[in-house]
Amino acid sequence: MNNTIQTAVVGVTGYAGAELARLLLHHPRLKGTPPAFAGRVDQKDIARGGVPLAEIHPQLAGGFSGQLTMQPFSWNLLADLGVDLLFLATPHEQSREWVPEALARGLRVIDLSGAWRLEEAANRAVYGFDDEDSQQAAEIQAQAVYGLPELHRAQIAGARLVANPGCYATSVILALKPLVAAGLVDLDHGIVADSKSGVSGAGKSPTAKTHFMYAADNLSAYGVFTHRHTGELLEQIGVDSSEIVFTPHLLPIPRGILSTIYVHFRKPQTAAGVSRVYRDFFAGSPMVRLYDKSLPQIQYVARTNYADIGFLLDADGRRAVIVSCLDNLLKGASSQAVQNMNVMLGWREAEGLE
């Protein structure tokens, strides 16, 4: 496809929406064709043609970006603007409602919510979707592609609906999938994934546990055995719930995820051998950086579009500690969505991201 593609973002007001807007506004293939922005607009703002983007996110002011507005959402608006590709940075329930209409209208969709990530009903139960038993939902779920290019690049290229992965899930899946797929991991010993995220991972709406007085100078576990991203780990890594324990934590920093993952191997491994597994698996994956002589840190990935992975083996080569880091608002959300767009449209995967 050519570079006259018209994109639209619904849900630009959030943290991930702001990053998505920034990336699309600076994408080399979209110069001269800025994204349209739509959402909920108060009556007082409709009269002036919507809410200026620079008022929502002042950091995006300047140049022609200062002339863009968030207009009241309607399907007619998207049709009038000639939108080809729709990004939904909306709540799960909203995406669940709107995706069927978007597909029926011929739009291609990248959904940043969890609405269509999970193939198995038992894993989707955590969301409690009202349409769970409908034929329409089943048909749409069947065509949704899990949007992790490092695993599903070929399927994403032809997809009409891409379900952008969760941020925690991305960090854990990328670290574990190569080793599990190669048959190295002794699943009977179990895997422990201990993940920590900055406060922005909880979204923009404040809660009792994300405001400054709770989060600052604190570290807390939450969602133990119940976190929504667990199903993604099971389905994408290919493990059973009895074979992995995933525990997320709230880290008192604005952004970033660090996952520390503990595995046993079926037989002793060498560092060179494990490194080779990772490098073979991620050959041609420009947004993954592999560490051989040190371990990743959040400060190395914050405000970048990369996922960083490193590991260390114990003395006998039977156990490994893997550290996986990414920016939850970028490779964990918006830049992953742009990466998926690049793959869907046949552009260079890292275009606009390096």
Mean pLDDT of the chain: 95
Average pLDDT over residues 56-82: 91
> 175 and 258 in contact (C-beta within 8 Å)?
no
Looking at per-residue confidence, does 42 or 63 come out higher?
42
| Nearest-angstrom CA–CA distance, 307 and 54 | 29
Count of the separate structural domains present in the chain = 2
Q: Average the pLDDT over each of 75-79, 115-119, 171-175, 210-214 and give the range with the smallest value.
A: 210-214
What pTM, to 2 d.p., does this model score?
0.96
Q: Average the pLDDT over each of 51-55, 60-64, 237-241, 300-304 and give the range with the smallest value.
A: 60-64
Average pLDDT over residues 38-43: 91
Do 129 and 213 sit in the same domain of this protein?
no
> 311 and 322 in contact (C-beta within 8 Å)?
yes
Do 173 and 226 sit in the same domain of this protein?
yes
DSSP 8-state code for residue 331: I
Strand residue runs (E) in 58-185: 69-72, 85-88, 108-111, 144-146, 161-163
Average pLDDT over residues 34-46: 91
Do 188 and 150 sit in the same domain of this protein?
no
Average pLDDT over residues 264-287: 98
Do 108 and 157 sit in the same domain of this protein?
yes
Do 199 and 265 sit in the same domain of this protein?
yes
Do 93 and 152 sit in the same domain of this protein?
yes
Which pair of tokens denotes residue 39? 């959402």
Do 38 and 139 sit in the same domain of this protein?
yes
Q: Average the pLDDT over each of 82-96, 199-213, 262-276, 278-292 and give the range with the smallest value.
A: 199-213
Kindly state whether residue 354 falls inside one of the protein's structural domains. no
Which pLDDT does position 1 carry in this prediction?
44
pLDDT of 140 above 50: yes
**Active-site residue numbers?**
167
Q: In the β-sheet with 51-52, what is the strand arrangement from edge to edge?
A: 51-52, 69-72, 36-39, 7-10, 85-88, 108-111, 161-163, 144-146
Band of residue 67 on the pLDDT scale cut at 50, 70, 90: confident
Which pLDDT does position 276 carry in this prediction?
98
Kindly state whether residue 143 falls inside one of the protein's structural domains. yes
pLDDT of 266 above 70: yes
Average pLDDT over residues 306-335: 98
| Nearest-angstrom CA–CA distance, 83 and 88 | 13
Kindly state whether residue 77 falls inside one of the protein's structural domains. yes
Kindly state whether residue 210 falls inside one of the protein's structural domains. yes
- CATH number of the domain residue 134 falls in: 3.40.50.720
| Nearest-angstrom CA–CA distance, 313 and 184 | 13
Do 136 and 223 sit in the same domain of this protein?
no
- Residue numbers of the domain that contains 15: 7-165+333-344
The length of the chain in residues reads 354
Kindly state whether residue 296 falls inside one of the protein's structural domains. yes
Do 215 and 266 sit in the same domain of this protein?
yes
Which pLDDT does position 65 carry in this prediction?
72
Element of type H or E holding 309: strand 307-313
| Nearest-angstrom CA–CA distance, 295 and 297 | 7
DSSP H helices, 195-323, are 212-215, 230-233, 271-281, 298-301
Kindly state whether residue 294 falls inside one of the protein's structural domains. yes
| Nearest-angstrom CA–CA distance, 103 and 142 | 13
Do 39 and 156 sit in the same domain of this protein?
yes
Kindly state whether residue 1 falls inside one of the protein's structural domains. no
Do 94 and 243 sit in the same domain of this protein?
no
Strand residue runs (E) in 73-210: 85-88, 108-111, 144-146, 161-163, 191-197
Band of residue 272 on the pLDDT scale cut at 50, 70, 90: very high
Kindly state whether residue 2 falls inside one of the protein's structural domains. no
DSSP 8-state code for residue 294: S
